[in-house]
Amino acid sequence: MPPNRRFLLMRRPQGTPVPEDFALVTQETPALAPGEFLIRNHYASLDPAMRGWMDAEGNYMPPIPLGAPVRASTIGVIAESRAEGFAPGQWVMGLNALEDYSVGVAGGFTQVIDPAAVPSITNYLSIFGAVGMTAYFGLFEVCEPKPGETVLVSGAAGAVGSLVGQLAKIHGCRAVGIAGGPAKCARLTEKYGFDAAIDYKGKDEAALSEAIAAACPHGVDVIFENVGGIILDAGLMHLNLHARVGLCGLISEYNTAPRGCRNLWQLIVKRAQIRGLLVADYVDRFAEGAAQMGQWAAQGRLTIDEHIDEGLENAFASFMRLFAGTNDGKMILKIA
Amino acid sequence: MPPNRRFLLMRRPQGTPVPEDFALVTQETPALAPGEFLIRNHYASLDPAMRGWMDAEGNYMPPIPLGAPVRASTIGVIAESRAEGFAPGQWVMGLNALEDYSVGVAGGFTQVIDPAAVPSITNYLSIFGAVGMTAYFGLFEVCEPKPGETVLVSGAAGAVGSLVGQLAKIHGCRAVGIAGGPAKCARLTEKYGFDAAIDYKGKDEAALSEAIAAACPHGVDVIFENVGGIILDAGLMHLNLHARVGLCGLISEYNTAPRGCRNLWQLIVKRAQIRGLLVADYVDRFAEGAAQMGQWAAQGRLTIDEHIDEGLENAFASFMRLFAGTNDGKMILKIA
């Protein structure tokens, strides 16, 4: 078996992760047991949710054990197999880890994917992966926008947010995005078709609130929330009656003690709701979502940017882009 | 027309209201215009929501104008009438103010009530009024409990909370209440039939969380939230998958800057929701709710405590009981 470079979690990050929380080591790959197969990982998805998996308290997934490689969705090619239905040379996608080789097991989370079905194999980590399905089911199933309504998206230049805005437009909604900096804001309106973009940088809650009022003259019917903090609080002040807030993420709070949502009372005033969403709930409908997304993409109505960094040795720096906001699109790490 | 003692809002309270924010004055009652009638108020409902109406920013109601009497639901007897369908001597209920006499208008919010239909006329301000309907529609329509589920109620010794717990029990749920002090907690289990009571006094968030875990061994499926702050945050940590939080009030935040809800991320982990509720949305179903509540009350399955203070001159002290938690049941002010 080939030696395996693995990006291990060595201690639980306190607040913002530092390089010393991790270690890139080379370990032996154990021989395959019956029913197992060896995946040569080519690309890994880097997602904000991975930060939560590094903490001691489990959330919807058990914590990553200390000394284990950092859990991540990857795509790769089967190198060896002792499992029926998984042949060497086949491309697969699954929940594995940041490492050269992962061992998969028949009946587990790994599925065979068809490189000929997509423009780029990496699309399985973006538009046709958890990111695309989060945008699709999160917007349509959790937020239930109606044509003509206003959809406010935070983290709008991110992988999920940029798709949510485009889906809202396809659905006939007004899409308003919040992102950091003029370059990202320009991308929102020019590339993703948002009706308006709000640059949160340098704005306090009052200034954000003013900007939202200006960009949403008819109020906000749906918030697709990826950020939290003052961005969510400012948005809550502009809800219309019976508005829906889909809570997808709270990236502003992952590395710090949360500031706390202070405008919850607006839910009473507007008889509105906040509902948490997790894409795993829609796994049995991924084919439906991917087919619809694929159709829109083929029609040129969906753009997804992928930000691909190279090299397992850059895993830490690439992961941290998500929190600094220095990625331009879905963050992917090319392993081989 | 008789002279009218009125409890006026003189300035907008900063944080906790003080006596100087109000004034009890005697004013002339203007002559009735056609379509108007004069109500001799006998009882007024004192509710936490009135605190919000005193602020400059409107919520679901316009702010009480400065110099105007403090808005309140009252019941009284028609003293004079120039409106068809409202005859002198009839009992009525409506959204009026803390004053001896209110002028009602045909087609407005005032409705005729039947004193013979209820054990006490004040029940129209408790079990058959906004309080009872808030508990009924808030629990069944917004929180949608299923028999066997666990319902956690904060402010459980209060007017709404005590009814919510009893309704949850009638529905076959486990009811757990949070209240302040051993006397109130004893009332929850002994009088209202809660399965367990948690005394929040002297408990920090961690201790509250521990107490909730102990009282809710199968987790929490529904939170009926009246309080907010660390009580809500502690509850959120024990949600079951797809739990529903009905947000009825946030009394811990009405007189102070909100601490902020810091465990919102649990909505993602548990795919749970927080939904604001306002009883006004169910006005056209009040008859249905009152009939059902009346049936249960007649069967001896519903107990409502009313805490009746006397005298318009005690309006301030009585209102402030709601925030000190020194009322034992639905807070009502006897005016005459």
* Residues lower than pLDDT 50 in chain A: none
Total number of residues shown for chain B: 336
* Residue of A237, A235, A217 whose CA lies nearest to A226: A235
- With contact defined as beta carbons under 8 Å apart, do B175 and B154 qualify? no
Task: Give the single-character DSSP code of A265.
Answer: H
Q: What are the tens digits of pLDDT across the range B24-68?
A: 999 998 899 999 999 999 999 999 999 999 999 877 889 999 999
Architecture, CATH, for domain B4-126+304-334: Alpha-Beta Complex (3.90)
Distance (Å, rounded) from C-alpha B298 to C-alpha B279? 23
A274 touches chain B (CB under 8 A): yes
B270 touches chain A (CB under 8 A): yes
- Model confidence at B262: pLDDT above 90: yes
A59 touches chain B (CB under 8 A): yes
* Residue of B289, B284, B305, B290 whose CA lies nearest to B118: B290
Region of poorest pLDDT, from A30-44, B203-217, B245-259: B245-259
Q: What topology does CATH give the domain A130-280? A: Rossmann fold (3.40.50)
B276 touches chain A (CB under 8 A): yes
The structural domains of chain B, with segments of one domain joined by +, span 4-126+304-334, 130-280
User: Would you call B276 and A271 a contact, using CB atoms and an 8 Å cutoff?
Assistant: yes
pLDDT (average), residues B242-266 = 93
pLDDT band for position B304 (cuts 50, 70, 90): confident
Q: How many CB atoms lie within 10 A of CB A131?
A: 26
B3 touches chain A (CB under 8 A): no
- What angle is formed at CA B68 by the lines to CA B67 and CA B71, rounded to 5 degrees? 140
Instruction: Report the pLDDT value the prediction gives residue B59, as an integer from 0 to 100.
Output: 75
Q: Which of A228, A271, A278 has its CB closest to that of B277?
A: A271
Instruction: Report the pLDDT value the prediction gives residue B254, as an integer from 0 to 100.
Output: 84
Q: What is the Cβ-side half-sphere exposure of residue B110, based on CA atoms within 13 angstroms?
A: 29
User: Would you call A276 and B268 a contact, using CB atoms and an 8 Å cutoff?
Assistant: yes
User: Would you call A273 and B275 a contact, using CB atoms and an 8 Å cutoff?
Assistant: yes
User: Please, is B189 exposed, middle or buried when counting C-beta atoms within 10 Å of its C-beta (0-12, 13-18, 19+)?
Assistant: middle
- With contact defined as beta carbons under 8 Å apart, do A36 and A82 qualify? yes
pLDDT band for position B75 (cuts 50, 70, 90): very high
Total number of residues shown for chain A: 336
Q: What is the Cβ-side half-sphere exposure of residue A226, based on CA atoms within 13 angstroms?
A: 28
Distance (Å, rounded) from C-alpha B49 to C-alpha B160? 12
pLDDT (average), residues B83-102 = 95
CA distances from B302 to A313, B174, B182 (A): 66, 16, 22
Give the three-state DSSP class for A321.
helix
pLDDT band for position B256 (cuts 50, 70, 90): confident
Q: Which residues of A touch B260 (CB under 8 A)?
A: 258-262
User: Would you call A265 and B281 a contact, using CB atoms and an 8 Å cutoff?
Assistant: no
Q: What is the ipTM of this complex?
A: 0.90
Would you state the structure tokens that stand for residue A145, as one six-digit string?
């926008």
* Site from A265, A266, A277 to mutate, B interface, most B CB atoms within 10 angstroms: A265
Distance (Å, rounded) from C-alpha B22 to C-alpha B12? 9
H/E element holding B274? strand B273-276
User: A219 — phi, psi (to 5°)?
Assistant: 80, -175
Task: Name the closest residue on chain A to residue B254, using Cα atoms.
Answer: A265
Instruction: Report the pLDDT value the prediction gives residue B328, as an integer from 0 to 100.
Output: 86
What's the whole-model pTM score? 0.91
- Model confidence at B265: pLDDT above 80: yes
- With contact defined as beta carbons under 8 Å apart, do B259 and B251 qualify? no
B247 touches chain A (CB under 8 A): yes
- With contact defined as beta carbons under 8 Å apart, do B288 and B74 qualify? no
pLDDT (average), residues B139-146 = 98
Instruction: Report the pLDDT value the prediction gives residue A60, as an integer from 0 to 100.
Output: 81
Would you state the structure tokens that stand for residue B26, as one six-digit string?
């005697």
Instruction: Report the pLDDT value the prediction gives residue B307, as an integer from 0 to 100.
Output: 95
Instruction: Report the pLDDT value the prediction gives residue A262, as an integer from 0 to 100.
Output: 96
- With contact defined as beta carbons under 8 Å apart, do A225 and A235 qualify? yes
List of long-range contacts for B88-94, beta carbons under 8 Å, 24+ apart: B91/B115, B91/B121, B92/B39, B93/B124, B93/B125, B93/B129, B94/B39
Q: What is the mean pLDDT of chain B?
A: 95
Q: How far is B265 from chain A (nearest CA, A)?
A: 7
Task: Name the closest residue on chain A to residue B241, using Cα atoms.
Answer: A60
Ordered DSSP codes for A53-68 = HTSSS-SSSPPPPTTS
What CATH class has A4-126+305-334?
alpha beta
Q: How far is B260 from chain A (nearest CA, A)?
A: 4
Give the three-state DSSP class for A293.
helix
Give the three-state DSSP class for A152.
strand
Could you tell me which residues come within 8 angstroms of residue A264 by beta carbon, excluding any fewer than 6 positions away? Answer: A236, B228, B247, B250, B258, B261, B274
Instruction: Report the pLDDT value the prediction gives residue A185, as an integer from 0 to 100.
Output: 97
Instruction: Report the pLDDT value the prediction gives residue B158, as an integer from 0 to 100.
Output: 92
- With contact defined as beta carbons under 8 Å apart, do B310 and B16 qualify? no
B250 touches chain A (CB under 8 A): yes
